Structure 1
């Protein structure tokens, strides 16, 4: 993000770090909106809830296996 903010061109960044222009655009957009590059900070409430429920489901499945 700092490279882009300091004037390095979009093309130079994508070429130097071997990423797609759309990935760089998404990272810049997410960072501007949330101030973070972390996926969990850039997910919708529904996506966060789904991740939480999947994690809880996995934990419950493991507990169930232990009790068998």
Structure 2
């Protein structure tokens, strides 16, 4: 039998309220206990709020993660363009014979 908790979703408003409680001086352990949060969840909310003020993953990427995401997108685009050019070369190669 699994003792794992069901994943819960929290609104950004709730997350801001939790972070504000912490900023106002309420101890971390009390907040975690009172609201039944995991320490890692609480720490992530505080970190994200400090870094960007946002809880969206895309707003909290490091510069390296953002660059990697852009490079992967660009690579996929170039691979698609390359495939199109290969197909065009095959088509035009057949016509010229």
TM-score with structure 1 length normalisation?
0.69
1:51 aligns with 2:65: no
Mapped to 1, the partners of 2:78 and 2:36 lie a distance apart of 44
Compute the displacement of 1:53 (Å).
0.5
After TM superposition, where is structure 1 displaced by more than 6 Å over at least 4 residues in a row?
A: none
Work out the number of aligned pairs and report it.
Answer: 63
User: Which has the greater radius of gyration?
Assistant: 2
Q: Where does the alignment leave 5 or more consecutive residues of structure 1 unmatched?
A: 15-19
RMSD, aligned CA: 2.2
- Equivalent position of 1:2 in the other structure: 16
Give the helix-richer structure, 1 or 2: 1
After superposing the two structures, state which structure 1 stretch, 1-10 or 50-59, moved more: 1-10
